[in-house]
Amino acid sequence: MVVVGHGPSGHRLVEALRERDRAGAWRITVIGEERRPAYDRVALTSYLTEDADLAYPAHDDGVTLLTGDPVVAIDRRARTVRTAAGRDVPYDALVLATGSAPFVPPVDGRDLPGVFVYRTIDDLDALRAHCTDLTTSRPQVGGIVVGGGLLGLEAARALQGLGVDTHVVEVAPWLMPRQLDEGGGAMLRRHIEALGITVHAGTPLTRLEAGEDGGVARVVLADGTGIDAGVVVFSAGIRPRDELARGCGLPVGERGGIVVDDTCRTEDPAIWAIGECALVNGQVYGLVAPCFSMAEVAADHLLAAAAGHDSPARFTGADLSTQLKLMGVDVASFGDPFAGPDQGALDVTYTDPVAGIYKRLVVSDDARTLLGGVLVGDASAYPALRARVGAELPGTPEQALFGGTAAPDGDLPGATRICNCNNVTADALRCAIRDDGLTDLAEVKRRTKAGATCGSCVPLVKKILDAELAAAGIEVGKALCEHFDHSRAELFDIVRVRGITTFTELITEHGRGRGCDICKPAVASILASLGRGHILDGEQAALQDTNDHFLANLQKNGTYSVVPRIPGGEITPEKLIVIGEVARDFGLYTKITGGQRIDLFGARVEQLPRIWKRLVDAGFESGHAYGKALRTVKSCVGSTWCRYGVRDSVGMAIRLELRYRGLRAPHKLKAAVSGCARECAEAQSKDFGVIATDKGWNLYVCGNGGMRPRHADLLASDLDDERLVRLIDRFLMFYIRTADRLQRTASWLEALDGGLDYLREVIVDDRLGICAELEAAMERHVGSYTDEWRATLEDPDKLRRFVSFVNAPDVPDPSIVFESERDQIKPVLVAGPRLEVARR
């Protein structure tokens, strides 16, 4: 057998054949046009942004691979293919997996230097080299991506990461028109433009104009808009690579594509076609999932043919659901998102323009069957919703939209397709787990391929695995990630009991591999919670999340915010003057927050030490707005000033904030103290809140604001000052010890077996006998606290990281630009996010 093309489809075909061809019926030769073997085109942009290795696993010794020598002709009578180098390779069966080519509209100037397509690694290497030269000579150069679909937005992300002021031109009225409805496209546009990319929708490109050097210098749109640009990337769709089929007389579609039946066989019984070059039932598929399905079907028929019998495998279409993260924005569509009243469909829509969230479910006219939907800004419900397409909802559409009772456990019907990319059903997963004795997620992914491609179905795969293990009486593992078999809580105890001080020591003794972006920040948090050194000391610095790298919150234009701690919101005139002077002298945007602090925005990274030197000298400390730590303890003015106040809420808020400042936790912590039942400090929406009464203090715990607000629960009442502080000490340390990574107190309480009653038994009644230990741990934190910024300013090694460019430490970032609005600075978004990547 000869396979022409070594992209994802060709690779999957060979993989499927080698797995199933136990008798060795086929000798396989693969001929690839590119000089490198197959690689993951879905993750193409990560090659530019992260230098990712995209290569697929190599084939075994039973496969002959020829690369960099494209096939130029097929002789159907002789059953041979000829390559550009003059090789004649015979075949008994031929599979065309030639993929597709980028569509470049026939506009004037499309052949100018500086015009690229976005399809292969070679394309990306050429684009990077051009942009490097361009940004060196023209720092504010513009770039255009023609096409606002999936790949076009990926190309825009890459172009922005290369330092280019990026524009996207889309002929349709909104972005991603093949996957999103108008509302979803509009919300996505808000997100994309907030990242500094300009979108021109509903306007085609008419021509490209050359500059003095002969390269592209300007593009003109149909509405007359002209945009200066030194680079243009076409990503306006694909066209099937069917020229080999045309050349040997095989039927092709009117708009391209090699005509095949539902077995992926062409008119010639010895020739198959799969992937983006194939036209099945009048349609060409450009997503990885249907291309992989075609490869599986063809493999079954090739093996059946070798054995002298037929196969029932058929390609009958594909689920075009998709989930991805575009420049940090969650986007998903599933089922039929465009069904309307004419198809007997209704829709349920939720829009939050402030949070940038758009959700739309399409349901049957009785609102019981899920038909499809669109999610932008929050796609957490995607795996559960996609699995329910075509099935009856277990609750209302509203519950399905926001989690509720519609989230499936392990009880999905057996035919439900869990992994769309690799066509794995719920029954296939269950059978593999039971028959092969699989007990962890990595084994399931390796054995079944579920979750091994795009990864969007992994949460659902994990649910099914957990359900199967629980049904078999096997304890469900709570491993933090593939590098540790322990949960976060277990790792916390290991670090605490064994006195471990570094990530390397922990993973060497209790894990495997080198770690990942899940376990590294989690362990960094554990080490910080236990006071194992400054977070920027040695190896610790490399473990931290983005904001912790510079002890400041990264903003959308590549600058940082400065947030000094102001306990209880109480501040002297002298300290107010210092903040005002710092904001004035460094030209910072100034805002009073809802947490009774003053935020200063627009600081460049190299300015941070100078800003904090002045603040520290004036007596300020880090407000930890960048960390998973205590943020603020908000307060009203209390009995000192308010005629309704019954206790000194300001004094208690300051006491609590100074006690718990710098306390690292699984997630951020917010608190408040109200001086009376009128609740002006909003204590019942905080992780812990205190409300004064005539008899003492009432303590509320596990409240959260945000997208899913939750009122706090009353843990204890009528407390004196000392008893209140002791209970909060216990509560916080118990949470830090037992919560999962990035788990807020509200979801932690909901996951506790026994809920609030159990928490009360542990914290108030000391049922486990650990309260003295929890209090002692908190005392160690209080006694060892040092301000992170003061310690950083005293350490020359730590200060070396605060530069925009490591090779030019005194040069400010030229892409950071501001304009004025309401007498304050406002960012002009150019290419902020790529700067942080470059610094790291």
- Same structural domain, 257 and 340: no
CATH, residue 422: 1.10.10.1100
pLDDT value, residue 707 = 55
- Same structural domain, 436 and 574: no
pLDDT value, residue 396 = 79
pLDDT value, residue 834 = 32
Residue 533, both tokens? 């050194």
In a domain, residue 526? The reply is: yes
- Assess whether pLDDT exceeds 50 at residue 840: no
| Rounded average pLDDT over 708-717 | 87
Give the confidence band of 171 by pLDDT, cuts at 50, 70, 90: very high
DSSP annotation of 310 reads -
- Assess whether pLDDT exceeds 60 at residue 837: no
pLDDT tens track for 432-446: 888 888 877 778 887
Instruction: Spell out the long-range contacts of 700-706 with Cβ–Cβ below 8 A and sequence spacing 24 or more.
Output: 701/731, 701/745, 701/749, 701/759, 702/745, 702/746, 702/748, 702/749, 702/756, 703/745, 703/746, 704/744, 704/745, 704/746, 705/670
- Assess whether pLDDT exceeds 70 at residue 316: yes
Q: Write down the mean pLDDT value for the chain.
A: 87
- Same structural domain, 223 and 250: no
369-399 residues labelled b (16+ CB within 10 A) or e (exposed): bbbbbbbbbbbebbbbbbbbbbeebeeebee
- Assess whether pLDDT exceeds 50 at residue 386: yes
| Rounded average pLDDT over 166-194 | 90
Q: Strand (E) positions, 63-113?
A: 63-66, 71-75, 80-83, 88-90, 94-96, 100-102
| Range in 48-52, 279-283, 478-482, 740-744 with the lowest mean pLDDT | 48-52
- Same structural domain, 580 and 688: yes
Neighbours of 641 (CB within 10 A): 10
Residue 431 assigned ligand-binding role: no
Largest CA distance in the chain: 100
- Assess whether pLDDT exceeds 90 at residue 736: yes
- Assess whether pLDDT exceeds 60 at residue 372: yes
Residue 481 assigned ligand-binding role: no
3-class secondary-structure state, position 144: strand
Residues contacting residue 794 through CB under 8 Å, at least 6 positions apart: none
Rounded Cα gap, residues 697 and 711, in angstroms: 18
pTM for this model (two decimals):
0.57
pLDDT tens track for 496-531: 988 999 998 999 999 988 787 778 888 988 998 888
pLDDT tens track for 563-574: 999 998 899 999
Percent of the chain with pLDDT over 90: 47
Contact between residue 145 and residue 158 where contact means Cβ atoms under 8 Å apart: no
Among residues 544, 562, 577, which one ends one of the domains?
544
Contact between residue 6 and residue 65 where contact means Cβ atoms under 8 Å apart: yes
- Same structural domain, 657 and 736: yes
- Same structural domain, 261 and 154: no
In a domain, residue 796? The reply is: no
- Same structural domain, 734 and 610: yes
pLDDT higher for 175 or 398?
175
Give the confidence band of 454 by pLDDT, cuts at 50, 70, 90: low
| Range in 6-20, 207-221, 411-425 with the lowest mean pLDDT | 411-425
| Rounded average pLDDT over 785-799 | 92
pLDDT tens track for 578-599: 999 999 999 999 999 888 899 9
Pairing of strands 424-425, 553-554: unpaired
Q: What is the DSSP string of 340-390?
A: -GGGTEEEEEEEETTTTEEEEEEEETTS-BEEEEEEES--TTHHHHHHTTT
Give the confidence band of 1 by pLDDT, cuts at 50, 70, 90: very high
- Same structural domain, 610 and 706: yes
In a domain, residue 13? The reply is: yes
Give how far Cα 257 sits from Cα of 118, 119, 224, 798, Å.
21, 18, 35, 58
Give the confidence band of 649 by pLDDT, cuts at 50, 70, 90: very high
Q: Tally the domains of the chain.
A: 6
pLDDT tens track for 284-307: 998 888 899 999 999 999 999 888
pLDDT value, residue 403 = 56
Rounded Cα gap, residues 415 and 374, in angstroms: 23
- Same structural domain, 394 and 417: no
DSSP annotation of 822 reads T
Element (H, E) at 174: none
Residue 771 assigned ligand-binding role: no
Q: What is the 3-state secondary structure (H, E, C) of 727-790?
A: HHHHHHHHHHHHCCCCCCHHHHHHHCCCHHHHHHHHHCCCCCCCHHHHHHHHHHHHHHCCCHHH
Rounded Cα gap, residues 12 and 56, in angstroms: 10
- Assess whether pLDDT exceeds 80 at residue 543: no
In a domain, residue 810? The reply is: no
Q: What is the 3-state secondary structure (H, E, C) of 590-623?
A: EEECCCCCEEEEEECHHHHHHHHHHHHHCCCCEC
| Range in 42-56, 593-607, 694-708 with the lowest mean pLDDT | 42-56
Contact between residue 243 and residue 227 where contact means Cβ atoms under 8 Å apart: no
Rounded Cα gap, residues 114 and 215, in angstroms: 6
Residues contacting residue 419 through CB under 8 Å, at least 6 positions apart: 448, 449, 450, 451, 453, 457, 461
pLDDT value, residue 220 = 94
Among residues 280, 307, 334, which one ends one of the domains?
307
- Assess whether pLDDT exceeds 90 at residue 820: no
In a domain, residue 804? The reply is: no
- Assess whether pLDDT exceeds 70 at residue 792: yes
Range of the domain at 90: 2-102+240-307
Rounded Cα gap, residues 530 and 493, in angstroms: 10
In a domain, residue 816? The reply is: no
Give the confidence band of 40 by pLDDT, cuts at 50, 70, 90: confident
pLDDT value, residue 839 = 28
CATH, residue 183: 3.50.50.60
- Closest CA relative to residue 803, chosen from 662, 610, 656, 649: 610
pLDDT value, residue 809 = 65
Rounded Cα gap, residues 696 and 779, in angstroms: 24
Residue 636 assigned ligand-binding role: yes
pLDDT higher for 379 or 40?
40
pLDDT tens track for 632-641: 999 999 998 8
pLDDT value, residue 48 = 75
- Assess whether pLDDT exceeds 60 at residue 95: yes
In a domain, residue 811? The reply is: no
- Closest CA relative to residue 374, chosen from 88, 182, 647, 624: 182
CATH, residue 370: 3.30.390.30
CATH, residue 774: 3.30.413.10
pLDDT value, residue 831 = 39
Residues contacting residue 124 through CB under 8 Å, at least 6 positions apart: 44, 47, 48, 118, 158
- Closest CA relative to residue 349, chosen from 194, 459, 195, 186: 186
| Range in 134-148, 683-697, 738-752 with the lowest mean pLDDT | 134-148
Bridge partners, 108 (sequence order) = 207
In a domain, residue 59? The reply is: yes
- Same structural domain, 760 and 700: yes
pLDDT value, residue 455 = 63
- Same structural domain, 446 and 431: yes
723-739 residues labelled b (16+ CB within 10 A) or e (exposed): ebbbbbbbbbbbbbbbb
10 Å CB burial of residue 584 (0-12, 13-18, 19+) is: exposed
Among residues 258, 276, 307, which one ends one of the domains?
307
pLDDT tens track for 656-675: 999 999 999 999 999 999 99
Displacement of CA 737 from its chain's centroid (Å): 27
10 Å CB burial of residue 50 (0-12, 13-18, 19+) is: exposed
Q: Which residue has the tokens 């999610």?
A: 375
Q: Look at the alpha carbons of 703, 705, 711, 716 in this order and tell me if their dihedral is positive or negative.
A: positive
- Same structural domain, 362 and 252: no
3-class secondary-structure state, position 46: helix
